Amino acid sequence: MSKLKVTVMLSSLIMLMYACTKESDIRFSNQPTNSNTDTVYGSDPSKKNYDLTENFEYGIKAAYNSPPDTATLSTGIWTLTDALLNNSTSDAKDGSWSARIESTGTITTNFNINGLQTLYISSALFTGDAASAYTLQISTDSGQTFSTFGSAINVTTTTLHKDSFAVNSTVPVRIRIVKSSSGKRINIDDIEFKGTGNPGFSIDTSSGVTPPSNYDDDTTPRYVVVTANDVVQPLTGDNSNILLGNPSNADSTPSNTENHLFDQHYYIESYSMSQGKPNWTAWHLGNEDIGSAGRGNDFAGWAGLPSGWYQVRSNDYTSSGYDRGHNCPSADRTSTTDANDATFLMTNMMPQAANNNQGPWEHLEDTIRTYVSNGNEAYIYCGSYGNSKTIDNGHVTVPTNTWKVAVVISKGNSDISRISSTARLFVVDMPNTNNVVKNSSWKLYITTVANIEKATGYSFFTNITDENIRSALKTKNGDGN
């Protein structure tokens, strides 16, 4: 189905013509398009065709109303008011990321576009939200004033739809997309600019950074929730989170602020008040922990921190350049919504470089879950060490390294007695930088438990009483064999 709408706007400087067609089920490349060649009009620079797409795959805007409202994307600087960039499973997107607008929010170019002939905008509803709409506005005075261009575009499905606008401008313009008051949130992706001559901007990803994963703006702290239907690890015995030992002898003494033991039921952690992150986190993973609850993405501060402790909030990593990196992964706790929600507490997070978190680190998490889904269970410890810098006004320490230790055994009972020197062991120590190649193998970072102990001062497997087994595991290459 197509719609044709024409609006003629006359002034001494510009005549703008508008036509809109809506096409369903259109997918676009998730890589920037930059076609500015001589092939159509020959060598006259003023008659070159250009085709440039803003795909929102580069840049950071992590919260709706957290200043600054500007973000440097691949096409230039944009202003996002009541808008952010996100990659949750509820966001409609072509590729990994898209823009999300709530309320009557806007996204606006802070740069002029020359010779713009046709503009394409892809839009969809955020999953679960009611129908909404947006309007296009155009400025011919470098953003001082904007005028509505054509009629509102209705957004009614969660599948991206592409609308085209015949701008045919003879002067530089800026664009603004304005969400209507109806509905709660919409997604915008793949804004494509087609025109002639020098567009006045270009696609540049060299100074940008892939946005941190899964940001949200919920700053309301909450508690861990446990109900009768939740799968919760026991305090002691088989399947308990620290069955293999407490590597730093953490305890819950009120004065112990740097090695404080918190039992979050679904995992246990040693927490540092001054660093605003866990020293380490431990959890048991069985196939009963992997279900269909899905990823909640509901980051929040933890309301259970002792009085007087700084509470890291869900948006405190905003514009830091780091992911809110899970210690206990979301995908390891999908048995119920309560279990998954517990993994999104900020006390389970560490500032993690995107290439680390979304690359080999994630690949190792997937590998361990695959073993567990095939008749095994795992006892996992994870943490970070070192101090490269701080974020959140000094409240959160960015570690130099992230590490993980996982012992995988066949599913059964009397687990301690079944762990031998030949148990399957995964051990990695990864630099927490974006120098890590995102698609590289976790096996590049294999090490031994003994090396992790040397770097952290911890002592692992203290509950394995057989000294020979304990020693063999600590010196064994953690390659998963």
- In tens, the pLDDT along 133-168 reads 999 999 999 999 999 999 999 999 999 999 999 999
pLDDT of 67 reads 63
**pTM exceeds 0.85, yes or no:** no
In a domain, 42, yes or no: yes
At 15, which CATH number?
Answer: 2.60.120.260
Q: Are 24 and 164 in the same domain?
A: yes
CB 191 within 8 A of CB 57: no
pLDDT value, residue 2 = 38
Same domain (yes/no): 427, 278:
yes
Query: What confidence score (pLDDT) does residue 31 get?
Result: 33
C-alpha atoms less than 13 angstroms from C-alpha of 6 in its C-beta half-sphere:
3
pLDDT of 213 reads 44
Say yes or no: 264 and 189 in one domain. no
Q: Residue 23 belongs to what H/E stretch?
A: strand 22-23
Q: Has residue 148 been placed in a domain?
A: yes
Residue type (1 letter), 195: G
Q: Within a 13 Å sphere around the CA of 205, how many CA atoms are in the beta-carbon half?
A: 14
Same domain assignment for residues 184 and 284: no
Per residue in 28-61, pLDDT (tens digit) is 323 333 333 332 333 455 567 899 999 998 888 8
Look at the alpha carbons of 204, 205, 208, 211 in this order and tell me if their dihedral is positive or negative.
positive
* pLDDT at residue number 181: 80
> What are the DSSP calls for 146-206, one per residue?
-EEEEEEEEE-SSS-EEEEEE---SS-BEEEEEE-SSSSEEEEEEEEEEEES--S-----S
> Is 229 inside any structural domain?
no
The confidence score (pLDDT) of residue 42 equals 38
Task: Select from 164, 196, 228 the last residue of a domain.
Answer: 196
Do 148 and 61 lie in one domain? The reply is yes
Type and span of the H or E element at 54 = strand 49-54
Which residue ranges in the chain fall short of pLDDT 70?
Answer: 1-47, 66-68, 204-219
185 and 333 share one domain: no
The residues that are catalytic are 326
Which residue range(s) make up the domain with 290?
A: 260-475
Beta bridge mates, 407: 379, 425
What is the pLDDT, as a whole number, of residue 6? 35
